[in-house]
Amino acid sequence: MTMTTPARTPIPVAARTSSGGARRLILPLVLILGVGGLLMVLGVPWTSASEGTAGVRLTAAADQGAKLTITTLEPGDSVTKSVTIRNSGSAESRLSFEENANPTTFAGGELHLTIEHDGVTVYDGQFGAMNDVSQDVGSLPAGGSSTFTFTVSLPESAPYANQGDPAVATYTWTNSN
């Protein structure tokens, strides 16, 4: 007796994929998402080099101003933020700016602020100590701009104290003819 086996028809490659291949791809993805979700729930911070300054914010205000807020800063760290003021008028104007803040207890009062106007230091001292001092910073040509750079720092010896109480200062720029 002779046995014959039926001829096998080749199965195209696309039809040979099984659910096992899809499982091999989906399982690690689900595992990564699950671990990420767990870390978020546990409060593990997500930071990168560009996000490390999240505790220092400089936000624009509608009234030709800006608000500088410090909520966290490690002793020994320094963060720099900038704002550009533009003269959209058709004539040259005089530019002045004023800080509105109080000396802060943030990190035991050791929070330091340096303000530069187009690369020239206009203030260098304790954060909030320039309160209500209006500074004339020169002329601004029609269509011109001027950049103010704020550098906030804590010395290495500063305590990690009052980090929950933000240090806040507002700045107002005035153009006059």
pLDDT in tens, 128-158: 888 877 888 889 899 899 999 999 998 988 8
State residue 161's pLDDT score.
64
| Residue 48 to residue 87: CA distance in whole angstroms | 35
pLDDT in tens, 90-108: 899 888 888 888 878 788 8
Q: How is domain 56-176 classified at the architecture level of CATH?
A: Sandwich (2.60)
Cβ(103)–Cβ(112) below 8 Å: no
Q: Higher confidence at residue 139 or residue 61?
A: 139
Give 116's contacts (C-beta < 8 A, 6+ positions apart): 122, 148, 149, 151
Highest mean predicted confidence (pLDDT) among 4-13, 44-53, 74-83, 99-108 = 74-83
Cβ(105)–Cβ(171) below 8 Å: no
Q: Higher confidence at residue 92 or residue 21?
A: 92
Q: What is the DSSP string of 9-22?
A: PPPPHHHH--HHHH
Which CA distances in Å does 79 have to 71, 73, 86?
Answer: 12, 8, 24
Cβ(83)–Cβ(172) below 8 Å: no
Q: What is the mean pLDDT of the chain?
A: 76
Residue pointed to by tokens 């959209």: 88
Average pLDDT over residues 147-170: 84
pTM of the model: 0.66
Q: Where are the domains of the chain?
A: 16-42, 56-176
